[in-house]
Amino acid sequence: MNFTAKQIADLLQGEIVGDPNKEVTTLAKIEKGCEGALSFLANPKYEPYIYTTASSVCIVNKSFSPSKELPDSLTLIKVDDAYSCFAKLLELYDSMLIEEPRIDQPSFIDESASIGKDVYIGHFVSIGKNVEIGDNVRIYPNVSIGNNVKINDGTTLYSGVTIYRDCIIGKKCTIHAGAVIGADGFGFAPDKNGKFQRIPQIGNVILENNVDIGANSTIDRATMGSTIIKEGTKIDNLVQIGHNVEIGKDTAIAAQVGVAGSTTIGNNVMIGGQAGFAGHIKVGNRVMVAAQSGVGNNVKDNTTIMGSPAFDSNDYKKSFVGFRRLPMILKRLQELESKIKKLIKE
């Protein structure tokens, strides 16, 4: 990366305040800037750092007006929205790091597999029978892709991803290292002797377009039919999604969440870390679930819940106030009991 302030301003349609020829070679947080770094300021909380930063160029909102003198070495680029513009640059920088199309050796590709245009396949990748790989797909080393899997255009699979047979991965999905898509659902039934017998899991997993799956997350295949993650949903690291679960569009799930089998989660749901969901329940659209909540029942649309068991967040907060007062309440009860005993003796 080697750009001048003018080149960046032209890309972002921004206004330069300072030296248009100032060069940047890296990106940095404003509080950890260095010479040759490009930073941004969007949150007023970080404004004090702009007066001491060592960064060479900083992207700011057009509304920014310095309250004191800026470093002489700093050039500003003023834009309508500093945060979104910096995100655009991050995306550009990330695209520069993409592996060039090629197939590294050794890799193991069944002769019946179909490979699209401009695909990168890293060392020790295994691709099974009748697999379909779309255009511009990136498959990093040590990925295993089972038979009859379909991976659509522009998807990236990072190192160590495993995709079991028959699964379908949409366009422009990102699956991070160590994730497992399509392992058996947790299906066992006890026989007359109390021994657990495995129930074959013959379904698959479908990820629709623009789905992100975090590192070491697991999405189980359906017993029958499909486990479905719908378009635009983002799943963090270390998340477990059970068999026959359906998650709606543009839902965000933070790390260490567990969703038991056959549960349905709606669109635009936000789920905090370590929340747990019982099986066979329905969570509505635009629901917000606080971290570490235990969700055991159906949840209506537009609801915010917290606690374990989880219920309406406003009721939970009122209940928690009472819970925190329990030691004082117990002390007062003990005092009242003591007074009552004295009255009885008298």
Residue matched to tokens 């983002």: 234
Distances (CA, A) of 6 to 2, 18, 33, 127, 245: 12, 10, 19, 46, 50
Phi, psi torsion values for 38, nearest 5 degrees: -110, 125
- Dihedral sign for Cα atoms in the order 310, 304, 279, 174: negative
DSSP string, 119-134: -EE-TT-EE-TT-EE-
Rounded to whole angstroms, how far apart are CA atoms 262 and 133? 29
Rounded to whole angstroms, how far apart are CA atoms 178 and 176? 7
Give the length of the chain. 346
Q: Tell me how far apart the terminal alpha carbons of the chain are, to the nearest angstrom.
A: 89
DSSP string, 234-293: EE-TT-EE-TT-EE-TT-EE-TT-EE-TT-EE-TT-EE-TT-EE-TT-EE-TT-EE-TT-
5-12 and 82-96 helices, crossing angle to 10°:
110
Rounded to whole angstroms, how far apart are CA atoms 308 and 295? 7
Q: What is the Cα 104 distance to its own chain's centre?
A: 29
Rounded to whole angstroms, how far apart are CA atoms 300 and 162? 35
Phi, psi torsion values for 234, nearest 5 degrees: -120, 125
123 catalytically annotated: no
Active site residue ranges: 243
